[in-house]
Copies of this chain bind each other. A is one copy, B any other.
Amino acid sequence: VTVSHLTESELVARIQSRLPPGPPWVAVGIGDDAAVVEAERNRLEVLTTDIHIEGIHFDRRFTPPRAIGHRALAVNLSDLAAMGAAPRLALLSLALPDDFPVGDFDALIGGAASLARRAGATVIGGNLSRSPGPLVVDVTVGGTVKRRHVLTRSGASPGDELFVTGTIGAASRGLQLLRDGGTVPCGRTELKAIRRFLYPEPRLRAGLLLGRTRAASACVDLSDGLAAGLHTLSEASGIGVQVEEAAIPLDAPRHFTSGAGALEAMTGGDDYELLFAVRPRLRGRMRNVVASAGAPVTRIGVCTTGGDRVVRRSADGRETLLPLPGGFTHFAGSS
């Protein structure tokens, strides 16, 4: 059975059956012209939206519908994490091809609903529409943060140290493995990489604690790769960056071709880790914070005066320019 056999009301009912009852601050939930919510006292609101479109951000041939729903929400939650915000609500906007199976619809909603529940976000509404072709999933999320705990991209100063959570390069390798479609034998590392691509875990707790303790001076999430994140932070803060190639926490380093390893991983995208700057005197506080969030963290370089963005190569100690993100095409994501 495909979605074209159901009415909008029937599809909405299927969504509602996959969601827990709304909390008391939802005055009007799914099913009216708009959702109505109470604001949270003494908090600023953080809003972000990201569109996920078949053929650009995912390929239905190798991305299960559950993962499509998970990822569409995860990329938005990762933006909240980068701002130091706690998730609160989400709106799901879907454009569905006529031949989209109802089972896939349920799985997609299930993937988003499951992550929303774990992240503490309530799905308060959305929109269903037909699509003339590609499946489109556009998610808007809202979070909250105290004014003095907001993390931005622009607060880094020369001398601040640069850190990254987790490891870099797994998701892009996972995507490549999925694209290759089983031509590479899949061991545990490969399955983990695929999982990193399909089910990214936004670093919500780390972002929240970095903001709450004011341990980070600037923060950005790595949706388009570490190199793009470094360019973004550098430009927004008006600083240069010097990154140590050998320090970059590569996922499964043996899989990267020698020499180009770190540079390859840096431009891969879809990591959804946090890149952040820390004043040297706050390094200890930051380490405690991130340890309590259960996120590994690695120092990868420093912020410098001037605008130069360089990578110091481990082989010869020479500096090369930080790889440039591509043009507009780059910003569409890596898949």
Q: Which residues of B contact A8 (CB under 8 A)?
A: 328, 330-331
Annotate A298-335 by CB proximity to B: 1 below 8 A, 0 otherwise: 00000000000000000000000000000111111100
Segment at the B interface, from A31-39, A106-114, A162-170, A251-259 = A31-39
Asked if A142 is at the interface of the complex by the 8 Å CB criterion, the answer is yes
Q: Which residues of B contact A54 (CB under 8 A)?
A: 132
For the complex, give the distance between the alpha carbons of A143 and B333 in Å. Answer: 31
For the complex, give the distance between the alpha carbons of A83 and B132 in Å. Answer: 30
A34 touching B80 in the complex, CB below 8 Å, given contacts A8-B328, A47-B124: yes
Asked if A17 is at the interface of the complex by the 8 Å CB criterion, the answer is no
Looking at the complex, which one of B46, B131, B221 makes contact with A35 (CB distance below 8 Å)? B46
A38 touching B33 in the complex, CB below 8 Å, given contacts A4-B327, A138-B93, A332-B130: no
For the complex, give the distance between the alpha carbons of A85 and B27 in Å. Answer: 14
A79 touching B4 in the complex, CB below 8 Å, given contacts A138-B93, A140-B49: no
Contact between B33 and A82, CB atoms less than 8 A apart = yes
Asked if A94 is at the interface of the complex by the 8 Å CB criterion, the answer is yes
Contact between A153 and B37, CB atoms less than 8 A apart = no
Asked if A48 is at the interface of the complex by the 8 Å CB criterion, the answer is yes
A55 touching B132 in the complex, CB below 8 Å, given contacts A7-B331, A34-B47, A327-B7: yes
Looking at the complex, which one of B32, B93, B132 makes contact with A56 (CB distance below 8 Å)? B132
Asked if A44 is at the interface of the complex by the 8 Å CB criterion, the answer is yes
Looking at the complex, which one of B3, B89, B134, B236 makes contact with A31 (CB distance below 8 Å)? B236
Indicate the member of A5, A43, A138, A142 with the most B CB atoms within 10 Å: A138
Asked if A220 is at the interface of the complex by the 8 Å CB criterion, the answer is yes
Q: Which residues of B contact A27 (CB under 8 A)?
A: 44, 147, 150
Q: Which residues of B contact A132 (CB under 8 A)?
A: 53-56, 133-134
Asked if A91 is at the interface of the complex by the 8 Å CB criterion, the answer is yes
Which B residue's beta carbon lies closest to that of A53? Answer: B95
Min CB distance, A94 to chain B, in Å? 7
Min CB distance, A172 to chain B, in Å? 18
Q: Which residues of B contact A46 (CB under 8 A)?
A: 34-36
Sorted from nearest, which 6 A-B pairs have the closest CB atoms?
A55-B132, A34-B48, A39-B39, A8-B331, A130-B332, A33-B82
24 contacts between A and B (CB under 8 A): A8-B330, A31-B153, A32-B236, A33-B79, A33-B80, A33-B221, A34-B46, A34-B82, A34-B83, A36-B44, A36-B45, A36-B47, A37-B47, A48-B91, A48-B125, A49-B93, A49-B138, A56-B95, A56-B129, A56-B130, A91-B140, A93-B138, A128-B331, A132-B133
